Chain A
Amino acid sequence: MAAVRKRVSPSRWLAYVIVALGGVIMLAPFWFMFVFATHTNTEILSVPPPLWFGTAFIENVRLLIEKLPFFWRNLGLSFFIAFSVTVLNLFFCSLAGYAFAMYHFKFRESLFAVIMATMMLPAFIFMIPTVLIMSAIGWMNEAKALIVPGACGAFGIFMMRQFIGTAIPKELVEAARIDGCSEFGIFWRIVLPLVTPALGSLGLITFIGTWNNFAGPLVIMRDMDMFTVPLALRALQGTGQVPWGAISAGSAIAVLPLMVLFVIASRRLIEGLTSGAVKG
């Protein structure tokens, strides 16, 4: 059907135009973010505002560091937290997903139902008690308060169970067991290498989600040197003259790693996000 070149009707042309215009609207805020990041405040505040890149990026970054003296540290901390949460999730979620997909054990279905049920609970309901617990055990203002509770998420277990269940034949596991491989050895040496595509999707989702997390650090982190990037950017908002150039530069730096990740892996990410929806 693709071989025959059909005439495109005017209504379809209109649809193409609308979709393209919509795409421009979707991208426009990013465009202005990058453009503003390269202009001084005076240039941004002029009418009409700049539409093309300027030369003030370095100056904006200097202004950013002036306002947020720990910005590079904030960036490093964000990487550290997002990376740790991602690695822990990949390990624990695939381990649990493997158990749910490949073993028959008592209470399997009900335990899995409990995990799914926790996904229904809204995050804000944990906000207050989490702060109280973290103060009680002395973890306030520390990275581990953000890393440990998020080390094994329900969504990841669900996703890995779906994937392992369909991708790994049970005979493979049994054969390895007969050959004397330990239970953990089967997971580590046979199952894990076979599910790297799913690990990639889950890793991306987890990394992006953790990197963008705002409410968690907002209630846990007290000092500016322990802020994550979203929290630090928020600190730029204050009374008086708003440093739009610095805000745009900081936002661009916060968003750029994710945009790069997304461009590299958009297909896998989108497929990973929807696989649960399709199968479940």
Chain B
Amino acid sequence: MSVTSSDSPAASELAASPPRRRRKLQAWEWAPYVFISPFFILFLVFGLFPLLFSMWLAFQTWDPSTGLQGMEWVGIENFKFVLEDDWFQKSLYNTFWIAIVSGLPQHLVAIPLAYFAHTYLRKHRNAVVGVYFLPFITSTVAIALVWNSLFSRDFGVINMALTSIGNFSIAGLHPLAWLFPTTNVDWAQPQYTKWMISSLVFWRYVGWNTVLYLSALQTIPRDLYEAATIDGASSRQQFWHITVPLLRPMMFFAVTLTIIGNLQLFEEPFIITGGTGGINQAGKTAAMHMYNTAFVDSDFGTASAVAWILFVIIGLMTWANNKFFAQKD
């Protein structure tokens, strides 16, 4: 074992002309530093340095094809430009739209589902939760491509299902036609693209949230429910007065993850819109805007500014979420 300290007192005593100032370090004193060093070496090279570089880049104007000499300090011009840029604002609007429409239902479904699985499913709990969790582990790209075919205007299964509900008729009447489409929807149209992306995001992450809530439910002591039952509380009352309050810490954690994840959405809109952002950029998120600015327009300075602005927005939203969940405690 190479990490063994090879204590060789003889050698050190032979060379002991200057008085020994420090005692020799024992292996268990320096070993932990060696053991954790891979992370820090990698982080310095591929984490901290890039981070500082990107911060610096946000204040430069630079087309990488001109080499490092082509860099020019422009101060906060990039930030001003980005914040006033209509396309950035639009991408931010899209990001929030998708984040809310896909994010909120995730939790509204995951909490009752986890509660149901925890309370009423015994033998089949893992199978049921596994089914809901499966989308989370599968390749976003693969499934986003499948999404495109399911939502396709002319042959999409989703369209087929929706129109058959819309055209459902009893005695010549179409009772659901006011709510459901009666002809196929073109989901690539700007007013629908975000719905399509949101449905994919919801589908992918609802099971993940269910697993999070399930793990929190398992830590709630059973006696609480038994005591409540003895006191005559109905199961609805138990849900609202025991389960929901004790789930608060996990709600905070899970909602934080959703906020952080949804504000960074990239792959789902990228694949669904074929990398273009869709007609009229209706499906372009802020992270996609950053990618396009850097790798399509070759404007690395502005793109870095976009990244840092988005970072600040995510930080603010996380902070606001923190405040929201902390205030009632």
A residues lining the B interface (CB < 8 Å): 2, 12, 15-16, 19, 22-23, 25-30, 32-33, 36, 44-49, 92, 95-96, 98-100, 103, 105, 108, 111, 115, 118, 121-133, 148-149, 151-152, 154, 157, 177, 182-185, 187-188, 208, 211-212, 214-215, 219, 229-231, 233-234, 236-237, 242, 244, 247-248, 250-252, 254-255, 258-259, 262-263, 266-267, 269-270, 273-274, 277-278
Contacts and interface: CB of A to CB of B under 8 A. Distances in A.
Given A151-B42, A274-B215, A267 B126 contact: yes
Interface string B1-14: 11111000000000
14 contacts: A22-B132, A36-B146, A49-B160, A95-B35, A126-B50, A182-B5, A183-B28, A211-B139, A231-B141, A269-B137, A270-B126, A274-B215, A278-B218, A278-B219
Interface residues of B, number: 95
A36 B308 CA distance: 42
A23 B203 CA distance: 11
Contacts of B218: 278
B39 A247 contact: no
Given A96-B35, A127-B307, A129-B53, 10 more contacts: A122-B264, A133-B49, A149-B46, A208-B137, A229-B139, A234-B141, A255-B143, A270-B133, A274-B212, A278-B218
A258 B284 CA distance: 29
Contacts of A255: 138-139, 142-143
Interface in B1-58: 1-5, 27-29, 31-33, 35-36, 38-40, 42-43, 45-47, 49-51, 53-54, 57
A1 to B, nearest CB: 10
Task: Give the interface centre of B137, B147, B160, B314 by most chain A CB atoms within 10 Å.
Answer: B137
Contacts of A36: 146, 149
Nearest to A157: B39
Interface string B135-164: 101111111011111100011110010000
Given A92-B38, A118-B43, A234 B51 contact: no
B51 A121 contact: yes
Contact of A183 (B4, B45, B120, B267): B4
Contacts of A125: 51, 54, 307-308, 311
Contact of A127 (B36, B134, B135, B290): B290
A132 B139 contact: no
B196 interface: no
A124 B116 contact: no
Task: Give the interface centre of B31, B45, B314 by most chain A CB atoms within 10 Å.
Answer: B31
Contact of A251 (B54, B145, B155): B145
Given A44-B155, A182-B1, A234-B141, A12 B120 contact: yes
A214 B267 contact: yes
B177 interface: no
Contact of A133 (B50, B131, B291): B50
Task: Give the interface centre of B57, B141, B208 by most chain A CB atoms within 10 Å.
Answer: B141
Contacts, number: 273
A26 B135 contact: yes
Contacts of A248: 145-146, 149
B134 A30 contact: yes
Interface string B195-211: 00000000100111001
Contacts of A130: 46, 50
Given A96-B36, A96-B39, A108-B32, A128 B57 contact: yes
Given A23-B128, A233-B145, A258-B137, A32 B31 contact: no
B99 interface: no
Given A49-B155, A270-B130, A105 B32 contact: yes
A152 B128 CA distance: 33
A133 B45 CA distance: 9
B111 interface: no
B38 A96 contact: yes
B138 A100 contact: no
A29 B303 contact: no
B4 A184 contact: yes
Nearest to A111: B36
A103 B26 CA distance: 13
B155 A99 contact: no
Contacts of A22: 109, 113, 132
A112 to B, nearest CB: 9
Task: Give the interface centre of A47, A248, A270 by most chain B CB atoms within 10 Å.
Answer: A270
B266 interface: yes
B143 A29 contact: yes
Given A22-B113, A184-B3, A237-B271, A277 B215 contact: yes
Contact of A266 (B126, B214, B300): B126
